[in-house]
Chains A and B, each alone.
Chain A
Amino acid sequence: MSEPLAPQHGKPPGDLAQAPPTTVASRLAAWQKAGGIVVPILTAVLAFLIGGLLVLATGHNPFQAYWDIINGAGLNWLAHPTNTDVANTAAYNFSQTLLQTTPLILTGLAVAFAFRCGMFNIGGNGQYLVGLYCANWVGISFVNMTRPAHVLLGVAAAAAAGAIWAGIAGFLKATTGAHEVITTIMLNWVAYWIGNYIFQQGGPLQGATNKPLNIPISGDVAQSARIPVFWGDADLQGLHIGFFFAILCLVLFWLILSRTTLGYEVRAVGYNPDAAAYGGIRVRVNYVRAMAISGAFAGLAGGIDMLGYLYHYGTTDVQAASIGFLGIAVALLGRNTAVGVGLAAFLFGGLLYGTTHGLQSGTIDPSLAGHLTEMIQGLVVLFVGADVLILAVWNSRRKIRRRQPTAQQQQQTAEAAS
């Protein structure tokens, strides 16, 4: 009885690799079956473990280092510290962690949405950047607008810019078959150099006051374009209501994918483009549309960051931007689901802030810890990518569980026979 049903519970890894059109999404379908939340947690634990071993090998205390990172991310605020100084610092750190989580949710959603359509959008960083440039331009330019309209215009422009930027990759894939991984990588670098161009000395977006000082930084966005802050001081990077906007996008992501025709088509193309085409779904249109929506999420992240707390941007910021790349790890760890992306974004947001800014004690050098984040990020992506390994682990667990009842049954039949 169990044998004919077995493929439904998860194909053995061998069959998976043999299926000729192995799109990313069809692999993903296997992951989803391979085991809910256990595997991502295992992946993250393994990555932290290896990172900890490296910390140990280079002569630091890994437990203390991780504890510092947890405190640096402000997670101790959740435990309601009694000391008011500690509580204030923790509260500030926690708000900063959420501030980092906000764009990570959106760039994670960007990668996840494209994944669901069978595409790998590595261009989150470029889309984030063009969104940011547009929001900066809108925020500086239309100074006579009132607050909600100005903010909405800036955010919409950012989303549109991201959508167009990713749409180029989708369009090229749909019309010429150019692989989206290559085109999005190239578009990342084009966005990178555009950023270096517009903010540099004499660039079109360089701030008027910065020009005589030879500082390659843009002007500040107008007060009317700034997203209201609800937790903390706006001058000290308080948490802005863009955070709720990101949460809303998580819901929107789930709604689009599971409750609309558009989402159904996107998922159908992702599972098997040939079958989708046979079923009358316009595959090419879906490629462009899915990429555009994906890019809109990433562009939105840039816009919200710019109008929420950055207010200005410079060439060095462009060169250091990596939020879009972190989105890949967020989406993969979150298994491209709305809830998963939210949780993974929180994890990486905490890591990002906890290692770079919040780190207090001298156990581990903050810049060292910052690179630890990059390594953990790499390890997470590496392990998540190895779905066959995960499937093998998961299936062996299932086999053990399945074997036990059959053994009992055999005993029972043996007893019955005797």
Chain B
Amino acid sequence: MSTYVGTLRRSRLYDSSTVGMVGIIIGVVACIVAIPPVTARSLVWPVLLGIVAMLFGIVAVSRGAGRVGWGAIAAGILGGGLAALAMRSSVSNLDQVFTASLIASMLVFATPLTFGALGGMFSERSGVVNIGLEGMMLMGAFWGIWGADKTGSWVWGVLIAMLSGALLALVHAFFAIHLRADQIVGGVAVNFLALGITGYFFVQLYHGNNVPTGVSQIPDVKLTSERSNSFFAESFGHLNLMIWIAILFVPLSYVVLFKTPIGLRIRACGEHPRAADTVGINVYLVRYGSVILSGILAAMGGAYLTVGYLNTFNENVTAGRGFIALAAMIFGNWRPFGAFGAALLFGFSTALAFRLPVYSSNAATLFQALPYVLTLIAVAGVIGRTVPPAADGRPYKKQ
């Protein structure tokens, strides 16, 4: 009898949340019809679809699937609104925005985020919250370009960047693990410290001016000839080496985290450190290792930004990318492929924002807030439920 009631309730919930999901999809479609290749030129379709999405959402809310339902309502409003914005521009402008090189620039913007998100994932999977990703990325960005400038070799630049990120992560790890300080406060402190240190030495070593031009740069990987302008060539033909490394690190992190004894230990420390300690895992060692690894990865992201992409440094060059990386990690539910997908999504929205001025500079600026809004929606539990590791943020005391 009780099983019967249970299944009945579950199926009803399943139905209403399905209704909500359909609503979300319709909301997305409402936006898509307005941009190439469909390029609907009438306001009727997106508005109609947006309203239908909202209706689905309201039905879902009334039937008990609140989160998904509200998500569908939001998707309806957003989809209809964005479509209406896109409607106001000419078709040729839209074609200019949605080109094949959009994929290349999406990967460019997604790369630092991927490094940061993977780093944050290792740290948090071991049970240490890492708000300091931004700071570690900034350290990598400055010391990377400094290293490349002083040694004349980008390889040394990246290595020095990794070292600097590891050092800052060590500070965070020491306060979080040995001193059992509040990890969020510690992370905030690490961000301030990095801002101060990089700014101070930028003035001290470069007098606050630009780094000399012609610093050794991370090379591009040329898969196709320069003159080729096929879709593949424009998208993947000459991407930076670090982009490929970032893409390579995604499955690698997955294998390390989920298929090796080391990964099992990291996750055990993040889920139940006491149990991990009982079976002989050195919780402190694993957490130190994971936090330092997260610092190294975040710093690589920063190094890509300066040594690989901008080839210069200015104060606070990361400009919140560490926080988007954090958001990507949460959005991706503390999983490598999820985090990479979120990084791609955020990279895409940034790339799009850089191209949108073609027809509307105002909307383009607002568009940059999209990753943060999406993350807000994600942590509120609309698109699936984000579940952090059980012991994330809890200091562990050996007995």
Interface, chain A (partner B; CB < 8 A): 13-14, 17-18, 22, 24, 27, 54, 58, 120, 122, 168, 172, 175-179, 181-183, 185-187, 189-190, 192-194, 196-197, 200-203, 325, 328-329, 332, 365, 367-368, 370-382, 384-389
Contact = CB atoms under 8 A, between A and B. Distances in A.
Contacts of B180: 13, 17, 388
B376 A183 contact: yes
Given A27-B182, A201-B361, A378 B189 contact: yes
Contacts of A375: 192-193, 196-197, 200
B265 interface: no
B32 interface: no
A10 to B, nearest CB: 15
B247 interface: no
Contacts of A178: 376, 379-381
Contacts of A386: 175, 179, 181, 186
B362 A197 contact: yes
B29 to A, nearest CB: 25
A178 B362 CA distance: 31
A387 B188 CA distance: 15
B389 to A, nearest CB: 13
A380 B185 CA distance: 11
A181 B379 CA distance: 11
A389 B179 contact: yes
Given A176-B381, A389-B179, A378 B196 contact: yes
Interface string B104-147: 00000000000000000000000000010000000000000000
B121 to A, nearest CB: 15
A189 B397 contact: no
B369 interface: yes
A180 to B, nearest CB: 10
A102 B160 CA distance: 41
A240 B148 CA distance: 49
A368 to B, nearest CB: 5
A65 to B, nearest CB: 12
A370 B323 CA distance: 23
Contacts of A384: 185
A194 B186 contact: no
The interface size bin for chain B is 35 or more
Nearest to B183: A385
B184 A370 contact: no
B195 interface: yes
B397 A24 contact: no
A365 B397 CA distance: 45
A181 B327 contact: no
A115 B147 CA distance: 41
B362 A172 contact: no
Contact of B185 (A201, A365, A381): A381
B231 interface: no
Interface string B367-399: 011001101100111000000000000111100
15 contacts: A14-B397, A122-B188, A176-B381, A179-B379, A185-B131, A186-B373, A193-B365, A193-B369, A197-B366, A201-B361, A203-B362, A371-B199, A385-B175, A385-B185, A388-B180
A282 to B, nearest CB: 20
Contact of A378 (B192, B380, B397): B192
B362 A202 contact: yes
B317 to A, nearest CB: 12
B369 A190 contact: yes
B36 interface: no
A415 B366 CA distance: 82
Contacts of B241: none
B204 A328 contact: no
A109 B181 CA distance: 22
B379 A120 contact: no
Given A193-B369, A371-B200, A382-B189, 6 more contacts: A178-B379, A203-B365, A373-B196, A385-B185, A385-B186, A385-B189
Contacts of A385: 175, 181-182, 185-186, 189
Contacts of A382: 171, 175, 181, 186, 189-190, 193
A58 B189 CA distance: 22
A381 B188 contact: yes
Contacts of B179: 386, 388-389
B219 interface: no
Contacts of A22: 394-395
A370 B203 CA distance: 10
Contacts of A120: 184-185
B250 interface: no
B214 to A, nearest CB: 25
Looking at B192, B208, B326, B330, the one whose CB has the most chain A CB atoms below 10 A away is: B192
Nearest to B381: A176
Given A181-B184, A371-B203, A386-B175, A381 B192 contact: yes
A380 B189 CA distance: 8
B222 to A, nearest CB: 36
A72 to B, nearest CB: 17
